[in-house]
Amino acid sequence: MTDAFKQAALDYHANPIPGKLSVELTKPTATGRDLALAYSPGVAEPVREIARDGENVYRYTGKGNLVAVISDGSAILGLGNLGPMASKPVMEGKGVLFKRFAGINSVDVEVNAESPQAFIDTVARIADTWGGINLEDIKAPECFEIEKALIEQCNIPVFHDDQHGTAIVTAAGMLNALDIAGKSIEDVKIVCMGAGAAAIACMRLLVACGASQDKLVMLDRRGVIHKSREGINAYKAEFALDTDMRTLDDAIDGADVFVGLSGPGLLSADQVKKMAADPVIFACTNPDPEIHPAVAREVRPDVIMATGRSDFPNQVNNVLGFPFIFRGALDVRATRINEAMKVAAVHALKDLARDPVPQEVLDAYECDEMHFGREYIIPTPVDIRLLDRVSSAVAQAAVESGVARKPYPAHYPLKNVNDVYG
Ligand SMILES: NC(=O)C1=CN([C@@H]2O[C@H](COP(=O)(O)OP(=O)(O)OC[C@H]3O[C@@H](n4cnc5c(N)ncnc54)[C@H](OP(=O)(O)O)[C@@H]3O)[C@@H](O)[C@H]2O)C=CC1
Ligand SMILES: CC(=O)C(=O)O
Ligand SMILES: [Mg+2]
């Protein structure tokens, strides 16, 4: 990032008013009668109705279209553990994306918790306020325990975006990239740099999609995760290989795929040179990827390259997932986001990339053409068709898998965020 761009980012967040989101009114408040309806005495009526039947909360309040974006700031993007307050711009940012792409209202909640249990207790006590909970930027391994406990304790969808949102988008992009490279997921050698929230979930989903665990090498700060290494947690142990490889240099030799969910600049041009033909590199660390696309391309013109960023082609980022996954889940009032819903989202995303790209998308990215291929393996976030395709696939899967509390929405397909209330 140039200094000018860094300043522009600060100015964007500061001006003309601080932050990126505000609350808007949805009902008239001009007259005394309006106020009497909105507040005292009128507000007593929905209170009584909700006390009589809790389901009425969805009828008389904004709960059904409200998602909390909750973090402890322990893994903010790839910037590390900078604490809850520093995570607020990212959490507001997730709220912007929820609203912009899926018409979902959100609140950001930054929790200062001394332990995973304190975090769980804090969130569990207020969870009923929202229609869903998007956990964000919580580091591994604590994130696994936190998400599991909150799913068990809450009757609304709880979804750790860095795990599942990232995994869904990565799997969709990977299946397309491998198809373009003429390789089959069962055969490829995969190197995963990182063994945290995103990496573990992405590799689990790639294995569920057919990747061979014997050909998957995972690395953390201490190098290759192998069976004779001591002191690895249970999540990393799932991916421990019986191997002599110890470093990224060892692992990258002949690899078909590199997935980076770790830290900036960790993959060198010399290492990219050692990869197999038509290498697939997803350097997904934000904001600065494991390798700059231009550097990878210079040494390997045959590379299929993706990053997590909006300013390079092939943005493999959970923004393509969480807005639309929650849209579908909220619209059928799902109690959880299960594996069937995640798989449905993978296929919806993967398939949409193969359709012709609308002019609005070309205009937004100021380019003349985009079509399925090396520079376009996955749709862009501004593609309005995501709202229909992903949300409806997720809603349908929720209904079919028995976690929906409402039928498939009569007002689907969604063509616009203004249609979300039917
Ligand atoms: N594009 C996207 O949509 C997304 C991208 N990400 C990116 O993925 C990265 C990880 O996020 P997340 O999983 O939430 O964070 P976690 O803190 O849970 O995990 C970070 C992992 O990266 C490893 N790591 C960090 N630095 C290095 C290094 N120098 N060498 C080797 N491994 C390293 C850590 O190793 P160790 O276990 O040894 O500490 C750990 O396994 C971030 O950069 C984030 O921006 C995350 C979610 C979505
Ligand atoms: C995109 C995102 O969620 C992350 O980098 O953490
Ligand atoms: Mg994140």
Ligand 1 centroid to 24 CA: how many Å? Answer: 36
Ligand 1 centroid to 307 CA: how many Å? Answer: 14
Indicate if ligand 2 lies below 6 Å from the C-beta of 318: yes
Ligand 2 centroid to 388 CA: how many Å? Answer: 24
Q: Which residue's alpha carbon is nearest to atom 3 within ligand 2?
A: 162
**Among residues 94, 236, 342, 350, which one is catalytic?**
94
SS3 call for 305: strand
Task: Tell me the C-alpha distance between 208 and 222, whole Å.
Answer: 26
Task: Tell me the C-alpha distance between 422 and 418, whole Å.
Answer: 9
Task: Tell me the C-alpha distance between 171 and 208, whole Å.
Answer: 10
Tokens of 50: 């909700």
Taking a C-beta distance cutoff of 8 angstroms, is the pair 119, 72 a contact? Answer: yes
Closest CA to 168 of 310, 347, 392: 347
Task: Tell me the C-alpha distance between 114 and 280, whole Å.
Answer: 40
Q: What is the pLDDT of residue 405?
A: 97
**Among residues 39, 148, 227, 415, which one is catalytic?**
39
Task: Tell me the C-alpha distance between 363 and 360, whole Å.
Answer: 5
Q: Which residues contact 247 (CB under 8 A, 6 or more apart)?
A: 223, 224
Closest CA to 349 of 375, 312, 387: 387
Task: Tell me the C-alpha distance between 282 and 290, whole Å.
Answer: 9
Indicate if ligand 2 lies below 6 Å from the C-beta of 285: no
Atom of ligand 2 nearest to the CA of 137: 6
Q: What are phi and psi of 235, to 5 degrees?
A: -75, -40
Task: Tell me the C-alpha distance between 335 and 275, whole Å.
Answer: 43
SS3 call for 110: strand
Indicate if ligand 2 lies below 6 Å from the C-beta of 286: yes
Q: What are phi and psi of 192, to 5 degrees?
A: -115, 115
Ligand 1 centroid to 226 CA: how many Å? Answer: 19
Indicate if ligand 2 lies below 6 Å from the C-beta of 77: yes
Q: What is the pLDDT of residue 1?
A: 82
CA-based end-to-end distance of the chain: 42
Atom of ligand 2 nearest to the CA of 286: 5
Q: Residue 164: nearest ligand to its CA?
A: 1
Ligand 1 centroid to 195 CA: how many Å? Answer: 7
Give residue for tokens 């110890």: 246
Would you put residue 333 in left (φ > 0), alpha (ψ -120 to 50) or beta? left
**Number of neighbours of residue 89 by Cβ within 10 angstroms:** 14
Q: In what order do the strands lie in the sheet with 158-160?
A: 105-110, 66-71, 132-135, 158-160
Q: Which residue's alpha carbon is nearest to atom 6 within ligand 2?
A: 77
The distance of Cα 377 from the centroid of its chain, to the nearest Å, equals 17
Would residue 94 show up in a list of annotated catalytic residues for this protein?
yes
Task: Tell me the C-alpha distance between 197 and 344, whole Å.
Answer: 21
**Number of neighbours of residue 295 by Cβ within 10 angstroms:** 17
Closest CA to 138 of 116, 167, 106, 165: 116
Q: What is the pLDDT of residue 193?
A: 98
Task: Tell me the C-alpha distance between 205 and 202, whole Å.
Answer: 5
Atom of ligand 1 nearest to the CA of 261: 8
Ligand 1 site, CB within 6 A: 75, 77-78, 139-140, 162, 166, 193-199, 219-222, 261-263, 266, 284-286, 308, 316-318
Amino acid of residue 380: T
Q: Which residue's alpha carbon is nearest to atom 2 within ligand 2?
A: 77
Q: What is the pLDDT of residue 213?
A: 96
Q: What is the pTM of this model?
A: 0.97
Atom of ligand 1 nearest to the CA of 222: 38
Please give the chain's pLDDT, 422 residues, in tens. Answer: 899 999 999 999 999 999 999 999 999 999 999 999 999 999 999 999 999 999 999 999 999 999 999 999 999 999 999 999 999 999 999 999 999 999 999 999 999 999 999 999 999 999 999 999 999 999 999 999 999 999 999 999 999 999 999 999 999 999 999 999 999 999 999 999 999 999 999 999 999 999 999 999 999 999 999 999 999 999 999 999 999 999 999 999 999 999 999 999 999 999 999 999 999 999 999 999 999 999 999 999 999 999 999 999 999 999 999 999 999 999 999 999 999 999 999 999 999 999 999 999 999 999 999 999 999 999 999 999 999 999 999 999 999 999 999 999 999 999 999 999 98
Taking a C-beta distance cutoff of 8 angstroms, is the pair 267, 305 a contact? Answer: no
Tokens of 33: 């009668």
Q: How far is CA 117 from CA 120, 124, 150, 159, 231, in A?
A: 5, 10, 10, 17, 23
Indicate if ligand 2 lies below 6 Å from the C-beta of 122: no
Ligand 2 centroid to 286 CA: how many Å? Answer: 6
Atom of ligand 2 nearest to the CA of 317: 1
Q: What is the pLDDT of residue 422?
A: 87
Ligand 3 centroid to 202 CA: how many Å? Answer: 13
Tokens of 102: 């899926």
Task: Tell me the C-alpha distance between 258 and 190, whole Å.
Answer: 6
SS3 call for 217: strand
Indicate if ligand 2 lies below 6 Å from the C-beta of 288: no
